[in-house]
């Protein structure tokens, strides 16, 4: 019984060593819980129709499901770093042997060690993968920024289009009443009255179609904000947008430095390089050291005797085909990561060029409609109405002038929405610089900053 008791004590001692050798959390470890829910004041502002675009973005950053999923993937990647630098679990063994003469009990502990430098490479690979996940979270944040901005301005444009079309419809109703009065006074033919009614019905149908579009347009914005789409959101408001100069060459020059997708791809290339270096060590032997505590019956069956033994060994990586295949796999993954980064850079450059073109085009159209075509169309409508009242032109002239003014007003609203959407596209492609202190997607103060070339 003394031998069994001493064996138990030995087992407890080994377990204590195992517990004490466990690695604690790394300094600066990532938080293991998701950010808090969005402030209720942001939800109330959106539902009351008083929220600005920035408040819509803050709400989306706080509770968009896709963004929160990217945040959790980043946290998972951060949690892999302490795992990568840890040793494999040691092996604790226990055995009892009996023969006719005596009994022997053993407790052994064996620890495997990776090839030299492998732990360092695993740690660096995990750190590079965590940086890639962080930049991927950044890229998702900019994707949400672009999509919310687009949905916000599309919904705002729809509200303005309904307002402008309803105003024109009201004017047509008034014009129809004037034509009817002239027809009853036998001063206008019946064809003009029919034409006025046809134009009124045509514009009424257009207005009804715009109003039907409100629910799906509102649902698109509500989905990005993680809000219910049962009731349409109030029409958002925004200040008028003025086009500004944009230097495409300057933006292209900082694209690789600031674009989060490209930075994530660069981190993946770095991680793949460490993976290739690890694969080259796959054919190296793995060391092993161990200790053994033995308790056996004493001579002549009296008392017990104890002994301690040590051992050392190494694995024999003799299956070279497997090692060569692992190295080819790692090299192919490194080449694939590099090609992916090149493809992403070309794609980002192409998308940036297209976004800059759309921004400049929208600014040109907005200036044309605001400064030239709308004032001229308004003057033409006033002149056509005056001429029709004096009997110098037919009813077609004021109808055509009214239709032209409506189209120009809608095109001006469309150009203003396109300008804001294109600016969001440019900012999403360029990014905002290196921000390694971002830990919470629900922080409303963590907004986009200005970069050179966008001023």
Query: Of all residues in the chain, what percent are helix, strand and coil, respectively (each to 5)?
Result: 65, 10, 25
Q: Closest Cα partner for 73 from 141, 8, 124?
A: 141
For 309-366, the pLDDT digits (tens) are 888 888 888 888 888 998 999 999 999 999 999 999 999 999 999 999 999 999 999 9
- CB under 8 Å to 111, separation ≥6 — which residues? 87, 88, 90, 91, 288, 289, 290
Q: How far apart are CA 60 and CA 225, in angstroms?
A: 5
Ranges of H-type helices in 38-117: 40-48, 53-63, 65-84
Band (pLDDT 50/70/90 cuts) for residue 8 is: very low
Highest mean pLDDT, choosing among 1-10, 33-42, 310-319 = 310-319
pLDDT of residue 372 exceeding 90, the answer is yes
pLDDT at 293: 87
For 83-136, the pLDDT digits (tens) are 888 888 898 888 887 766 667 788 989 988 888 888 899 999 999 999 999 999
Torsion angles phi and psi, residue 369, rounded to 5 = -70, -45
- CB under 8 Å to 179, separation ≥6 — which residues? 188, 192, 193, 196, 395
pLDDT at 243: 80
Domains detected in the chain: 52-430 (1.20.1600.10)
pLDDT at 23: 32
**And the tokens for 404?**
């032209």
Residue 350 and residue 328 in contact, taking contact as beta carbons nearer than 8 Å: no
For 393-431, the pLDDT digits (tens) are 887 888 889 889 999 999 999 999 999 999 999 999 888
Please report, for residues 22, 304, 408, the alpha-carbon distance to residue 175 in angstroms, rounded to integers and kept in the order given.
Answer: 86, 117, 20
pLDDT of residue 432 exceeding 90, the answer is no
């Amino acid at each position: 019984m003394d031998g069994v008791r001493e064996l138990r004590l030995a087992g407890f001692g080994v377990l204590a060593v195992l517990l004490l050798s466990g690695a604690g959390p790394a300094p600066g470890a990532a938080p293991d819980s998701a950010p808090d829910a969005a402030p209720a004041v942001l939800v109330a502002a959106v539902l009351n129709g008083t929220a600005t675009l920035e408040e819509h973005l803050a709400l989306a950053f706080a509770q968009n499901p896709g963004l929160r999923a990217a945040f959790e993937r980043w946290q998972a990647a951060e949690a892999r770093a302490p795992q990568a630098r840890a040793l494999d679990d040691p092996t604790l063994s226990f055995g009892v042997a009996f023969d006719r003469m005596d009994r022997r009990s053993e407790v052994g502990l064996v620890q495997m060690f990776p090839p030299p430098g492998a732990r360092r490479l695993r740690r660096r690979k995990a750190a590079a993968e965590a940086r890639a996940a962080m930049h991927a979270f950044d890229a998702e944040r900019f994707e949400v920024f672009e999509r919310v901005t687009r949905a916000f301005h599309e919904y705002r444009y729809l509200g303005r289009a309904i307002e402008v079309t309803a105003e024109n419809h009201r004017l047509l109703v008034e014009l129809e009443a004037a034509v009817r009065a002239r027809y009853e006074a036998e001063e206008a033919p019946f064809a003009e009255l029919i034409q006025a009614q046809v134009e009124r019905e045509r514009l009424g149908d257009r207005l009804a179609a715009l109003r039907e579009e409100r629910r799906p347009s509102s649902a698109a914005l509500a989905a990005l904000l993680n809000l219910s789409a049962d009731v349409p959101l109030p029409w958002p408001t925004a200040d008028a947008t003025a086009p500004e100069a944009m230097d495409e060459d300057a933006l292209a020059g900082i694209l690789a430095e600031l674009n989060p997708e490209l930075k994530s791809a660069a981190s993946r290339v770095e991680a793949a390089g460490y993976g290739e270096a690890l694969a080259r060590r796959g054919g190296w032997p793995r060391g092993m050291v161990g200790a053994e505590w033995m308790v056996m019956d004493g001579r002549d069956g009296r008392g017990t005797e104890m002994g301690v033994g040590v051992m050392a060994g190494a694995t024999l990586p003799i299956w070279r085909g497997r090692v060569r295949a692992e190295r080819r796999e790692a090299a192919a993954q490194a080449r694939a990561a590099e090609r992916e980064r090149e493809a992403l850079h070309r794609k980002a450059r192409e998308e940036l060029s297209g976004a800059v073109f759309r921004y400049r085009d929208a600014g040109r159209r907005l200036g044309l409609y605001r400064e030239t075509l709308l004032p001229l169309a308004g003057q033409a409508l006033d002149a056509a109405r005056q001429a029709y009242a004096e009997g110098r032109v037919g009813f077609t002239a004021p109808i055509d002038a009214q239709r032209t003014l409506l189209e120009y007003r809608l095109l001006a609203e469309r150009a203003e929405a396109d300008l804001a959407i294109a600016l969001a596209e440019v900012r999403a492609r360029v990014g905002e610089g290196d921000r390694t202190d971002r830990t919470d997607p629900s922080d409303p103060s963590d907004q986009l900053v200005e970069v050179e070339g966008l001023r």
